[in-house]
Amino acid sequence: MQLDKKLIGHTFQPFSTVVEAGKIRLFCKAIGEEDAIYSDEAAAKAAGYRGITAPLTFLRALQADDPNKGGLLRLLNV
């Protein structure tokens, strides 16, 4: 399926959500991610983070919190 070039550059409204360490740990367990920076505060800080961080794939899971759920699918007429 080729996308309509008119859609290039389309933006969506930003939204905020709370990312809680327990949800990150649960997500990592579900995907088999075992890096300690996602579950251990000290390991995350030793790696240069302010605290437990989330894997990039967690961003996809956060879309469930988007108040405009399905905006991309509606835009694509799916």
What would the two tokens of residue 46 be?
């030793």
Q: What is the CATH number of the domain that holds 28?
A: 3.10.129.10
pLDDT band at 1 (very low <50, low <70, confident <90, very high): low
pLDDT at position 53, please? 94
CA distance 30 to 35: 13
Q: What domain count does the chain have?
A: 1
pLDDT at position 66, please? 79
- Mind listing the pLDDT tens digit for each residue in 10-68? 888 888 888 899 999 999 999 999 999 999 999 999 999 999 999 999 988 888 787 77
pLDDT at position 3, please? 73
9 inside domain:
no
CA distance 26 to 32: 10
- Count of residues for the chain? 78
Range of the domain at 23: 18-75
What would the two tokens of residue 14 be?
């930003």
pLDDT at position 49, please? 97
Among 55, 65, 57, residue whose Cα is nearest residue 13:
65
pLDDT at position 18, please? 87
Among 37, 39, 58, 57, residue whose Cα is nearest residue 49:
37
